Structure 1
């Protein structure tokens, strides 16, 4: 067996190792909190005394001679407003900084947002975002996400549509907590809102190229400018990205766990008159990938021998698969947004059509071997799954925003979303050398149709110059239907396949969500607020390959009640911003995946799991002690707990979960960043940057498997860049995971083994980024 690295020894905590390492973990937790607290204190002190302490901001953004932090504008209230003025906990990420630091997809950006986590699974279809410890884990097309993804005002109905790559991004806003009033029914835990760059008036362009170790390369190019003077501006951006992967397939000698992506986006901004803006967007992204889970731990010598010569180790980056996983994805769409202004009012219409095609070819646990037939057995069958998704959505939103600075400011609107999902799934199973030549198999065809109608409005009541009230309400009507048909080569269940069946059904529900609160200016630079929010997520069906009669009943809608108190402040001539949020949210009829055994295989059953809650505190700080120095830090303490678990009938697994922690929710997570720009001669600048992300241990299994615990860990990154403002170029050396820590973004425990998802930065790697404007 491969020798463990020192960094990997703490990657998992068994019951015995938990006790052995408890002192070390407590020390790490205290160290992280103390480091973060010290960072906050030093940053505040430096801002007060105007003393420079430390390392980088991009020279292009350090031209504010006053030293004040830049004003950040967000659209969290469906109209432009200062981040410091909105009564919502919001994190904002800059698109250029994300690209320069090789954080180009949602799974990579979560390191910068302590309240957010990401579940990496076999492919993007099965991946999920968690906010404040709450997220929906399901492969079923009959359930909507808990965290809504909105790109340029368009809601993406299924989370897999937006987890591949981010292209031409201006900034990302992460709204934490229920946002059902203005962003819809599938925002009961939060919203990830992405805004792309606007076309420029003057003709301009850029080329951005990166190369990283393990043969990862990215090339972006864009051009923008005016097509018709004062009437039409346009921009076009194209992307090519390729990565061999960081997992070795011993069967072929090639790398897996990589990707290949090509995409483009075109955007037109048409202003036929001074009161009308028309934005037209078309985008296309094609991706292929080979995600691979490695053998993390084995309880069975037979399993260890079955995958040999691939190793079983805490930091293993080897698989033995003659047919590796292959996922092909095409995501495309068009949208039209019209903004018409009259007498201070703004009427907005957003119309969008999107198509998502996804095909997955996967082997069992992505570590099986099907060519070496003498290793195939009933205990370790060779299984090949082929699944396809064809999903279409059409949406229409109409919105009106009242004039600002009135006694009552409001945003109101109507929304409609139609989704149509069609899927197929084939499972081919060989349990012996004989069956490998004539395998048994099951095949299912299923689909889901959904229609959602809603009316919403939220108002701000300006009682005085310092006191404001908040009141919002949304009514939603959901219609959901499904059909499912499965055939099988056997009349009885066999490894991972149920007998033939046919089912269909439909349901409809009405739901109400909303928000009320109070906001006050404690001073010109300090805003406090307190809100109550009601969240709603519509009914669901557990539609999947092995769907059984027990899955034909519709799940009840999931509802939440959330209380939040926040403080937003600036100080020292806007050199320091400090935002604080304290929250507590209770969820009823929580829709969760229950792991159970079907036909000898571990499967997930989507159920109304009962009542869960999440509570905690979030701190965000940004300081600019001097004009060229920026310090930022975030800390989240989250206690996400199962309050009352409803065990489904005839469950094979244990349901003694009351009081346990929800999966994918570390108690403490922090992120700190320091950046400093050094001006040189001849218009050159040197930019230094360092960031550190740390989190406490996290349980990846709802059923609290001791082998699905990722130990606490920290990741250190850094970069050194040389740039010229005069000539518009920038060259950066980027270092990821500089201390070479191995960790897992998911651990899946089975009866005989544990597998892990290997992240991109599972080991140290370096790269170069070159950007040229013209």
Structure 2
């Protein structure tokens, strides 16, 4: 790769409830009976217009998507591959309730669900949306920015999931499930190339080493992309690209009929040059400093003498053991993971060495160099019961999941900032965080009758958190971007609880409705970062949430149509958010308990298969995420008039549509046509409501045509991305005199070809 190191508090939603229940009742009258739950996907019969059953693990058991009382979005690995969606930031295009924030490297990235997420680079803050990969919880938000490799499906559980998935799931869960090794020896090689000098190569092999006892798979991938931003500095080349390589191995062992063991190891390495382009200038001097680059909504140029360079390594091992006896399953998941990150970033407006006069105290040149070393070790024990009859007649029964969980995390970071104005000064901070989390949890379902179920669950969590921080500086007073030297440390511990209560009713075998109340809990936090001040040494209180959700899940017309609707209202207290303040003329972040925020809305997921050849899918979300009561920090220099304002990264409406048409040919070949469209309304990226940080509504059109020969195991596809050539921003970051735009990969139209051979 040519890489250069270089958001009216109580809106009336009764109408939406009525619509959802009416939809369920109408479909109930037309529906064909279907099973309550399925332990595995139920494929559509060949040549029939039937929607295949989808299996999810949202309740820590395998069950059909249509049966679980949880709002879940599911995207298959095969569809992600065809659409060239190979990382989490692109997957959210198909999930209207989710958003992804990326500002710099992986440290600055985080997921949002229903308009709620955590914006902080501090290692002392846990995410609001939990990432779980094959049962293993990832403790830091940045770890979720992995390249997707050998994926069976991605499940996004919407709303608080703290009972079964832990304290850092107060807004939702990203649950990634990989493929299991096959019994038969199989393999594949696929490659793709796209305009803009992007390519990807993957290969894998899977099969039995000892039939019925030992199965293994290994998958590897390499990808690189020059980037879509031009650095006009002399010899600058292309930036905003990446180079990724990774390998993942899995060994499944079945020593006897009652025991399964899965051993997984993975290693993923990424080198990237994430860059934001000048979007708007609010200061004439700064505009002059950027020349010959001219800021604009479609600008894809920068002028920097030292482009950004991020090196990121994610690796880990895990062992999952399932023991089955008398209908009970005891699961143990033991895991260790490491995440290393190195960042070299700059905000220099230098054009070339002859233009040093552009550097002033108002527009200094800065170089930031940061390193991160994070490790985590976790252990989960979980017991899943069979259905236990509560009466001799068996009219009522109960089943449950209960367990224990422990996670230890250790983080060490360094951060150095070099500031050049008339002279060069610098500061360096060395800091770290250690955390321990203990929890016990359980959730049970009481089957009152064949059509009525009651759900109850709770989770107790004990958090211990400590930090240390030392900063040195070449100056005893603050200068642009650097505070004077300081030293501090602290520790805190808290107990918290999560829970869920619910009721589910089957109107018919194909229509189920549920109502749940959930409490979420996110642990205490410290704002540990480079420019940490004395006011940041106090621990933040835990963040809690209270959520109500009503849902209807239906299938109809002999399983040719499924339609799921969910209505939700969630209130958050002690919301942990970044507050941008000004100290000594420089903008600094203050992580604070910002007060009360809320999110409410309606979500609809529809799949239709009117003919065996045509499948239509749609997902839509209307979300109202806002600040209800903002707590202004003491002595804050910035304005806190935020009550009633929209939360960032929370478009009011977002929708996704896909049409897939399958054409079998007499020769045995197949032609598959895919067309999808994503739309989202205007999005505010700034909690403080800057008019310069608003992305207007936009839509993206993608298409693919595939020729396949299943008997021979090959397929080739031509892919077109952003066919309407619509430029947009994934983030807008305001600063002194300037606004910068996050430029996505599909900021402009591009094409590619993919090929796959299976054997």
- CA deviation profile, 1:313-353 (whole Å, cap 9, x unmatched): 11110011111000000000000000000000000000000
Contact 2:439 2:459 in 1 (8 A): yes
Contact 1:496 1:599 in 2 (8 A): no
The alignment status of 1:109 with 2:91, answered yes or no, reads yes
- How far apart, CA to CA, are the structure 2 residues paired with 1:64 and 1:511? 51
Aligned-pair CA distance for 1:229:
2.2
The alignment status of 1:87 with 2:77, answered yes or no, reads no
Query: 2:496 is paired with a residue of what secondary structure?
Result: strand
| Residue in structure 1 matching 2:180, options 198, 202, 206 | 198
- CA deviation profile, 1:33-85 (whole Å, cap 9, x unmatched): xxxx9xxx9xx99x999xxxxxxxxxxx8863221100000000001001000
After superposition, the Cα gap between the structure-2 partners of 1:88 and 1:386, relative to the gap in structure 1 and judged at 3 Å, is same
- How far apart, CA to CA, are the structure 1 residues paired with 2:413 and 2:387? 47
Matches within 5 A, 1:476-555: 476-555=461-540
| Residue in structure 1 matching 2:343, options 346, 356, 360 | 360
For 1:279, the equivalent position in structure 2 comes to: 262
- How far apart, CA to CA, are the structure 1 residues paired with 2:481 and 2:102? 22
Matches within 5 A, 1:619-698: 619-698=604-683
The alignment status of 1:264 with 2:247, answered yes or no, reads yes
For 2:394, the equivalent position in structure 1 comes to: none
Aligned-pair CA distance for 1:696:
0.6
Contact 1:370 1:376 in 2 (8 A): no
For 1:4, the equivalent position in structure 2 comes to: none
Matches within 5 A, 1:405-424: 406=389, 407-424=397-414
Aligned-pair CA distance for 1:596:
1.4
- How far apart, CA to CA, are the structure 2 residues paired with 1:517 and 1:466? 14
Query: 1:193 is paired with a residue of what secondary structure?
Result: strand
Matches within 5 A, 1:50-199: 64-199=46-181
- CA deviation profile, 1:158-188 (whole Å, cap 9, x unmatched): 0111213111111000000000000000000
For 1:334, the equivalent position in structure 2 comes to: 317
Aligned-pair CA distance for 1:370:
7.5
For 1:11, the equivalent position in structure 2 comes to: none
- How far apart, CA to CA, are the structure 2 residues paired with 1:731 and 1:653? 55
- How far apart, CA to CA, are the structure 1 residues paired with 2:349 and 2:266? 35
Aligned-pair CA distance for 1:649:
1.2
- CA deviation profile, 1:450-504 (whole Å, cap 9, x unmatched): 0000000000000000000000000000000000000000010001000000000
- CA deviation profile, 1:217-273 (whole Å, cap 9, x unmatched): 011100000112221100000000000000000012400000000100000000000
| Residue in structure 2 matching 1:609, options 578, 582, 594 | 594
Which runs of 5 or more residues in structure 2 are unaligned? Answer: 1-18, 32-42, 390-396
For 1:727, the equivalent position in structure 2 comes to: 712
Contact 1:735 1:764 in 2 (8 A): yes
For 2:9, the equivalent position in structure 1 comes to: none
For 1:431, the equivalent position in structure 2 comes to: 421
- CA deviation profile, 1:519-568 (whole Å, cap 9, x unmatched): 01011100000000000000000000000000000000000000000000
Contact 1:292 1:325 in 2 (8 A): yes
- How far apart, CA to CA, are the structure 2 residues paired with 1:394 and 1:735? 42
Query: 1:84 is paired with a residue of what secondary structure?
Result: coil
The alignment status of 1:762 with 2:747, answered yes or no, reads yes
Contact 2:155 2:175 in 1 (8 A): yes
- How far apart, CA to CA, are the structure 1 residues paired with 2:138 and 2:276? 27
- CA deviation profile, 1:604-648 (whole Å, cap 9, x unmatched): 211000000000000000011111211000110000010000001
Contact 1:497 1:599 in 2 (8 A): no
The alignment status of 1:224 with 2:229, answered yes or no, reads no
- How far apart, CA to CA, are the structure 2 residues paired with 1:369 and 1:646? 43
Aligned-pair CA distance for 1:367:
5.7
After superposition, the Cα gap between the structure-2 partners of 1:560 and 1:370, relative to the gap in structure 1 and judged at 3 Å, is farther
- How far apart, CA to CA, are the structure 2 residues paired with 1:159 and 1:771? 33
- CA deviation profile, 1:349-407 (whole Å, cap 9, x unmatched): 0000000000000002x766574422111111010000011000000000000013641
Contact 1:581 1:618 in 2 (8 A): yes
Query: 2:449 is paired with a residue of what secondary structure?
Result: coil
The alignment status of 1:377 with 2:360, answered yes or no, reads yes
For 1:344, the equivalent position in structure 2 comes to: 327
Matches within 5 A, 1:14-53: none
Larger mean CA deviation between 72-81 and 245-254 belongs to 245-254
- How far apart, CA to CA, are the structure 2 residues paired with 1:217 and 1:705? 38
How many residue pairs get aligned? The number is 717
Contact 2:224 2:243 in 1 (8 A): yes
Aligned-pair CA distance for 1:691:
0.4
- After the TM superposition, list the runs of 4 or more consecutive aligned residues in structure 1 that deviate by more than 3 angstroms: 61-64, 366-372
Aligned-pair CA distance for 1:764:
0.4
- How far apart, CA to CA, are the structure 1 residues paired with 2:710 and 2:207? 20
For 2:379, the equivalent position in structure 1 comes to: 396
For 2:14, the equivalent position in structure 1 comes to: none
Contact 1:369 1:382 in 2 (8 A): no
- How far apart, CA to CA, are the structure 2 residues paired with 1:540 and 1:465? 45
Contact 1:114 1:669 in 2 (8 A): yes
Aligned-pair CA distance for 1:598:
3.2
Contact 1:415 1:453 in 2 (8 A): yes
- How far apart, CA to CA, are the structure 2 residues paired with 1:233 and 1:115? 37
- CA deviation profile, 1:701-746 (whole Å, cap 9, x unmatched): 0000011000000000000110001101110000000000010000
Aligned-pair CA distance for 1:312:
0.9
- How far apart, CA to CA, are the structure 2 residues paired with 1:750 and 1:275? 60
For 2:578, the equivalent position in structure 1 comes to: 593
Aligned-pair CA distance for 1:599:
3.9
